[in-house]
Amino acid sequence: MSVFSFSGALVASDAKQSTTLYVDFPVKDFEQGSETTLHHTEYGLLKILIPELRKQYPVSLAQSNSGQAVALVQREQAGCVSNVRFTQARSNKLHFSKPFSLYFGMRLYYQADNVKAQSAIAKFGRKPVALAKLFEGEQSGRLGVVSGRSYGDKIDPFLNSPEMRYNLYVRGANDMSKGLLAMLGQGRVDYVIEYPEVAAHYLDDHQEENIRSVALAESESMVTGHLACAKTAEGKAVIAEFDTLVANYQQREDYYQAHIAGLPESLRAEFAKQYEHVFGKVAENGR
């Protein structure tokens, strides 16, 4: 997730306004084209889109804690946040672009040798796990979540309910997702809700950890990422520019490859079908 900070109209015909883009990965690695342990779909897409944005107006990058991005834009009424999940609550305070990224929906992760978690999940059989039923009772376990992240219109209200007050561990460190999965492996939390791509990156480096996942009843099968901007005239203008830019890339091979770079091979065939449904067929000539 990342944040645009802007002053004045970014789409003025002649004036070039200075723009700061706050990102949640190392800027030095990004600018120098280096690989990074935080490399993910958003990183790959911004490597394609940022050079094009810079042809229109100056864009400088700075690293920021992504968990604070949405709150910052809403409070300051300036700037934009990259790769945001659309929710009704957020749409009341932010302008949203059309989808520009696509992911498999979140799943529930647990340690295979966690007897309590394994027993609770087994009760659902082959059906997706319903969070409300999973966390019935006082000894239902501890769920790790990322500070500031939206888990969607169905899951957010449940996480914020009084009943979950003592069952949540909210991680706010810079390594939020990776840190939570590490805590899961150490048995410090019983469950983590995460995107398959993020979990796959972590498990590639921690193959000794026997972490499994199940589908969630409250999670969509696919999730789109959006640019979200302050609800101002400038924010609306940025959204319009961004939508126009992204429309030129979504059916390009390099844009598609940025989406699947972090996906396990076993998920790519299904993702290709979903990508074509959302963004259209990728051009055979790659352009």
Coil, helix or strand for 12?
coil
Phi, then psi, of 20 in degrees rounded to 5:
-105, 130
pLDDT at 15 over 60: no
For the stretch 53-89, pLDDT in tens is: 888 766 677 776 666 788 888 888 878 888 889 999 8
* Residue 279 neighbours by CB under 8 Å, 6+ apart: 99, 102, 250, 251
Write down the pLDDT at residue 16.
Answer: 47
Q: Give residue limits of the domains in the chain.
A: 2-103+223-279, 106-215
Asked if 3 and 63 touch (Cβ cutoff 8 Å), the reply is: no
CATH homologous superfamily, domain 106-215: Periplasmic binding protein-like II (3.40.190.10)
Of the candidate ranges 14-28, 35-49, 237-251, 266-280, the one whose mean pLDDT is the lowest: 14-28
CATH architecture of 2-103+223-279: 3-Layer(aba) Sandwich (3.40)
Evaluate whether 2-103+223-279 and 106-215 have a shared fold. Answer: yes
Write down the pLDDT at residue 99.
Answer: 96
Instruction: Tell me the percentage of the chain whose pLDDT exceeds 70.
Output: 85
pLDDT at 107 over 50: yes
Regarding predicted confidence, which is higher, 267 or 39?
267
Regarding predicted confidence, which is higher, 233 or 101?
101
Residue 1 CA, distance from chain mean position: 7
